[in-house]
DNA sequence: CTGAAAGCGCTTACAG
DNA sequence: CTGAAAGCGCTTACAG
């Protein structure tokens, strides 16, 4: 099957089909200006000879570079979460520099929807060939998606929670399942008692995300017929004082609480509180891995972190666009990220 | 700093240094036949102009392919473990087919050291430019390493437990730390009792590997001043009957046993036993992820699996050789694999 | 020790 | 609609 050394090129195809190189090139790239007859003839020869284009030669001779747009929140926001996908994007870009891939980043403040719209307009009018973005602004982003569709600019979603039909690829996080996982881990730590699902509001979190995780927790507990119950608490204004007051009260009124679940990356705030608090051990599970969490992992105040390889999401996104735009490969429509579990004893290797 | 569009090539360097293209090429590749004076002049220009070779052009014009040798056990052995690194190797090879990378696989039966030596000889006399191997046959492999050193064939170790000085790169698994991690997980499941460290002997496991994991467990328990103790049991001939007899007796004599730790990938054998056994829940932690484990993860008979991304190890190994041999990049001397934790609730996304 | 020229497998104007 | 030719940035004989 693998015809070994005999690498056959466009020249061989041209000779066999009795046409010029340029014609074969036109057929390969589906460019206009070839008669149906010729096209079919060439395609048949390509098929028969098993011709595979040589990307290196292709890229070497092609003049223009490929520009990928990136639309994400400022890295200074959301505890700096977006720094990681961006790092992954940059890493991939460096690896692919040979292929003349450029990244154009468009960032915005999350609570500033005027700015979001401005950046979207900039993107529409820019010379990008592909786009990486996050799925969290359902409304504003429709125009952009529509525009990309018309211009045939492939889009890749990262940090996505639903499968986008028009996207080239959605890099997804299984939210419900991450809730199940958290519940399973709590269930290893205690047999009965209560899990406090504590929502420290961040502009980026939609109710969807929290809700799915919460459902996952309850789903697991039901499935296991566990004696553990859950209770949800939302804190909007989460400075240290508020947390102190609200949590002290909640824990006092509900002595059955043995675990706290933070469905976003704000877990360090709560760890800070729990550390100072006297009393029985309370198990703590959160999301995402930040420097400020290390101290609490070490002390086992944070017991588990559930992570979704944010860096790899950015990295993969660039590669998927690269495969589509440059290698002209088929790309899977959705990539589901693993649910990584981090503890004191394995975070160092993450 | 990034001189943008102005990509400067060998031609620009040649012109600036007032020499021919071929001379610049000779300098770049450190080939013989250039006077020191010319060489220095060219190097200076390269430095000043910030010349970066274009790998695509380089590869396109170079005629020969790069052959990478792989020395690993038969994939039919060790519960099929080696299938995974091999898959990773093949995946990388396919991705890099454009760079004319070929893989030559040399496999052997693990208990057949005559065959190992034969394959080593074959490797030495082969036309490989680089080598991927595993570090588990310290003795036989010395000759091979020495030979590779002399011929300047870079070696990458996978599934490695020590850092090899002469290797291009060792892809390592933190063994001690994985033991610590297992202990931490057990400690979440129960506060006191005994962990049975059960060693089902496999030809590949050296005492080192098991010992380090065991030390990790004990290290964690001491550090935590835990009330949990450990007990070690070795079963050499592990057919179903032996396991049944030995384990039934051991568990009867040691009713404090609440957890079983399997330091290799044989955990399904024990899960099979524990499933049929009546009595209190016994927590079970093992290594590596195989199809036969799924059933037991689902039933939570196996509680946690510690995995080391075997596929990625093979994949990375090829990429490191690729970077070294073809891209002429510097390669990190050691890569430490993460300790992934798998449970019923996240294995599907692995 | 040094250089001129052909060629790697494509793409891209340009001419017909 | 089709083709001949130059060029992408290197490497590789070959000649001197």
Give residue-wise pLDDT tens across range B101-128. 889 999 988 778 888 889 999 999 988 9
Which residue is closest, via its CA, to the C1' of D4?
Answer: A20
List the single residue in B98, B337, B346 with the smallest CB-CB distance to A55: B98
pLDDT higher than 70, residue A314: yes
Residue A201 confidence (pLDDT): 80
Distance A148 CA to D4 C1' (A): 38
Residue B31 φ/ψ, nearest 5 degrees: -85, 155
CB contact under 8 A, B184 and A345: yes
The tens digit of pLDDT for each residue in A110-133 reads: 778 888 889 999 999 988 999 999
Residue A138 confidence (pLDDT): 63
Considering only CB atoms, which chain B residues are within 8 Å of A303?
Answer: 188
**Higher per-residue confidence, A138 vs B56:** B56
Q: Are B180 and B220 in contact (CB under 8 A)?
A: yes
Residue A3 confidence (pLDDT): 40
User: How far B111 CA lies from chain A's nearest CA (Å)?
Assistant: 33
Q: Are A304 and A350 in contact (CB under 8 A)?
A: no
List the single residue in A56, A344, A350 with the smallest CB-CB distance to B338: A350
Is residue B59 within 8 angstroms of chain A, CB to CB? yes
List the single residue in B59, B337, B349 with the smallest CB-CB distance to A56: B59
Three-state DSSP class for A51?
coil
pLDDT higher than 70, residue B211: yes
Residue B340 confidence (pLDDT): 96
* Rounded-to-integer distance, Cα A165 and Cα B21, Å: 51
Q: Which domains does chain B have, with CATH numbers?
A: 3-53 (1.10.260.40), 65-173+310-337 (3.40.50.2300), 175-307 (3.40.50.2300)
Considering only CB atoms, which chain A residues are within 8 Å of B55?
Answer: 98
Residues 56-115 of chain B with CB under 7 A from strand D are 57-58, 60-64
Query: Which of A160-164, A299-303, B60-64 is least confident?
Result: A160-164
Is residue B231 within 8 angstroms of chain A, CB to CB? no
Is residue A312 within 8 angstroms of chain B, CB to CB? no
The strand pair at B340-342 and B304-307 is best described as: antiparallel
Which nucleotide does the CA of A328 lie closest to, via C1'?
A: C10
Provide the pLDDT confidence category of residue A205 given band limits of 50, 70 and 90. Answer: low
Provide the pLDDT confidence category of residue A278 given band limits of 50, 70 and 90. Answer: confident
Share of chain B above pLDDT 70, in %: 94
B16: which DSSP letter?
H
List the single residue in B220, B336, B350 with the smallest CB-CB distance to A349: B336
Instruction: Count other Cβ atoms within 10 Å, centred on residue B31.
Output: 11
pLDDT higher than 80, residue B6: no
Instruction: Count other Cβ atoms within 10 Å, centred on residue A291.
Output: 9
Share of chain A above pLDDT 70, in %: 94
pLDDT higher than 80, residue B170: yes
pLDDT higher than 90, residue B265: no
Environment class of B315 (CB within 10 Å of its CB; exposed 0-12, middle 13-18, buried 19+):
buried
Distance B27 CA to D13 C1' (A): 18
The continuous run of DSSP H or E covering A22 comes out as helix A21-28
Which residue is closest, via its CA, to the C1' of D3?
Answer: A20
Query: Which of A83-92, A204-213, B83-92 is least confident?
Result: A204-213
* Rounded-to-integer distance, Cα B62 and Cα B64, Å: 6
**Higher per-residue confidence, A32 vs B261:** B261
Residue A4 confidence (pLDDT): 47
The pair of structure tokens assigned to A271 is: 């760890």
Residue A2 confidence (pLDDT): 39
Provide the pLDDT confidence category of residue B283 given band limits of 50, 70 and 90. Answer: very high
Which of B326, B348, B349, B350 is the best mutation test for A, with the most CBs of A within 10 A? B349
* Rounded-to-integer distance, Cα B41 and Cα B169, Å: 34
* Rounded-to-integer distance, Cα B33 and Cα B23, Å: 9
* Residue-averaged pLDDT of chain A: 89
* Rounded-to-integer distance, Cα A142 and Cα A123, Å: 13
Is residue A98 within 8 angstroms of chain B, CB to CB? yes
Question: Which whole number is the average pLDDT over B195-204?
Answer: 83
pLDDT higher than 70, residue B3: no
Which nucleotide does the CA of A36 lie closest to, via C1'?
A: D1
pLDDT higher than 90, residue B263: yes
Question: Which whole number is the average pLDDT over B4-17?
Answer: 80
Residue B281 confidence (pLDDT): 95
CB contact under 8 A, A177 and B345: yes
Residue B197 confidence (pLDDT): 96
The tens digit of pLDDT for each residue in B65-79 reads: 789 999 998 887 666
Query: Which of A334-338, B5-9, B154-158 is least confident?
Result: B5-9
Selection from A90-94, B162-166, B308-312 with the highest mean pLDDT: B308-312
Residue A254 confidence (pLDDT): 96
Considering only CB atoms, which chain A residues are within 8 Å of B177?
Answer: 345-346, 348-349
pLDDT higher than 50, residue A136: yes
């Amino acid at each position: 099957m693998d015809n070994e050394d005999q690498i056959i090129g466009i020249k061989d195809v041209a000779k066999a089909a009795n046409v010029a190189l340029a014609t074969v090139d036109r057929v390969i790239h589906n460019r206009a200006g070839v008669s149906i007859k010729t096209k079919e003839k060439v395609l048949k020869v390509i098929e028969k000879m098993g011709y595979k284009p040589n990307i290196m030669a292709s890229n070497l001779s092609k003049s223009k570079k490929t520009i990928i747009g990136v639309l994400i929140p400022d890295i200074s926001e959301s505890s700096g979460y977006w720094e990681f996908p961006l790092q992954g994007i940059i890493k991939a870009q460096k690896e692919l520099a040979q292929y003349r891939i450029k990244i154009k980043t468009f960032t915005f403040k999350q609570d500033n929807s005027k700015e979001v719209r401005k950046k979207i307009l900039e993107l529409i009018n820019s010379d990008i060939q592909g786009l990486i973005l996050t799925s969290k602004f359902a409304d504003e982003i429709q125009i952009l998606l529509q525009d990309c569709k018309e211009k045939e600019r492939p889009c890749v979603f990262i940090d996505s929670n639903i499968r986008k039909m028009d996207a080239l690829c959605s890099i997804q996080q299984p939210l419900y399942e991450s809730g199940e996982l958290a519940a399973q881990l709590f269930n290893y730590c205690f047999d009965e008692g209560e899990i406090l699902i504590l929502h420290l509001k961040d502009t980026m979190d939609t109710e969807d995300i929290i809700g799915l995780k919460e459902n996952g927790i309850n789903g697991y507990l039901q499935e296991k017929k566990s004696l553990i119950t859950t209770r949800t608490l939302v804190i909007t204004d989460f400075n240290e004082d508020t947390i102190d007051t609200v949590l002290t009260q909640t824990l006092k009124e509900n002595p059955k609480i043995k675990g706290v679940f933070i469905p976003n990356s704000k877990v360090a705030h709560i760890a800070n509180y729990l550390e100072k608090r006297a009393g029985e051990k309370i198990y703590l599970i959160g999301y995402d891995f930040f420097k400020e969490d290390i101290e609490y992992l070490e002390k086992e105040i944070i017991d588990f972190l559930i992570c979704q390889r944010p860096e790899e999401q950015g990295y993969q996104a660039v590669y998927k666009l690269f495969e589509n735009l440059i290698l002209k490969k088929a790309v899977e429509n959705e990539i589901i990220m693993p649910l990584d579990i981090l503890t004191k004893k394995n975070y160092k290797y993450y």
